Amino acid sequence: MAANFWTSSHCKELLDAEKVGIVHPLDKEHGLTQEDVKIIKIHMSNYIRTLSQSVKVRQRVVATAITYFRRVYTRKGFTEYDPQLVAPTCLYLASKAEESTVQAKLVIFYMKRYTKHRYEIKDMLEMEMKLLEALDYYLVIYHPYHPLIQLLQDANLAELKVTAWSLVNDTYRTDLILTYAPYMIALACIYFACIVMEKDAHTWFEELRVDMNEIKNISMEIVDYYDNYRSIPEEKINSALNKLPQRF
């Protein structure tokens, strides 16, 4: 069963961490910094989550949508494809790909409620095609949630579930899903949860014989998010977004 992820397109599409953070040349021209890009991604990931709560989809659809969003912007600039349209379109596409289709007009309905943007269904459907191309039609995404549950069971650490699950949710506010195997992300979240909850799972980790450096790198990313981006001042978000071409 483990052979699964390792032969998937998701695995083949994994990127090196340094490559993911790079600012697209077109965005650079508009004065966007690496920091701006990071903030826009976090902001839009949160936006996808908010939208998803209104249109009521499964956790997994949200996670897939955010992954699509982040993957698209490793290839396209924010100045090229407006994130305000890409975010809801990712949610729409993910709902179809995960077999729990949401109607296009419903997504647009809530999009109009939450933002001032005046995109219509037609715009979203056009963007859907562009996203499919940008994603190279690779749509199957693996997530850390399922390995998390199974690993916790194996480690006999069920009491960490709530904490570790929240941590996994927060990894979607980073590009981790584009750079590490979901199974490693799950392990890092368990590792992190052990520290937070003061549980000793050293022997269990040792027996796994996984690359602890990788686990630490993932944990560092999560720490960086909590330290620096958990609540971003609105001015910062606006200043980043204002560098994008104003479409409306």
Partner 1 sequence: MREEQNQLSANNDINMVDLNQHPADSNPELSEGTDNVNKNDNSKGSRAPPPHPPPKQLDPSERYRKGITLGQGTYGTVYKAFDIVTNKTVAVKKIHLGNAKEGVNVTALREIKLLKELSHPNIIQLIDAYPHKQNLHIVFEFMESDLETVIKDRNIVLSPADIKSYMQMTLKGLAVCHKKWILHRDMKPNNLLIASDGQLKLGDFGLARLFGSPNRRFTHQVFALWYRAPELLFGSKNYGPVVDIWAAGCIFAELLLRRPFLQGTGDLDQIGKVFAAFGTPRQSQWPEVGTLPDFVEFQFVPAPPLRSLFPMASEDALDLLSKMFTLDPKNRISAQQALEHRYFSSVPAPTRPDLLPKPSRVDSANPSRPPQLASPGGPVVLSPSKARRVMLFPNNLAGILSKQVSQSASGGTPIEFDMPTHKLREVYPPRSRITESGKKHLKRKTMDMSAALDECAREQESESNLDPDPQHSAKKEKHT
Is 34 one of the binding residues for partner 1 (CB under 8 A)? Answer: no
In the complex, least distance from residue 198 CB atom to partner 1, rounded to whole angstroms: 19
Kindly identify the residues of this chain, within the stretch 69-128, that bind partner 1 according to CB under 8 A: 92, 95-97, 99-106, 109, 114, 121, 124-125, 128
Of the residues 81, 145, 191, 192, which one makes contact with partner 1 according to CB under 8 A: 145
In the complex, least distance from residue 152 CB atom to partner 1, rounded to whole angstroms: 12
Of the residues 123, 169, 199, 243, which one makes contact with partner 1 according to CB under 8 A: 169
Is 41 one of the binding residues for partner 1 (CB under 8 A)? Answer: no
Decide: helix, strand or coil at residue 15. coil
Contacts with 248 (C-beta within 8 Å, 6 or more apart), sequence order: 116, 117, 118
Q: Which of 141, 131, 51, 42 is nearest to 88 (CA)?
A: 51
Angstrom CA distances, 150 to 147, 153, 207, 230, stand at: 5, 5, 16, 28
Q: How many residues does the chain have?
A: 248
Size of site (CB under 8 A) for partner 1:
82
In the complex, least distance from residue 97 CB atom to partner 1, rounded to whole angstroms: 6
Decide: helix, strand or coil at residue 82. coil
Of the residues 68, 73, 81, 142, which one makes contact with partner 1 according to CB under 8 A: 142
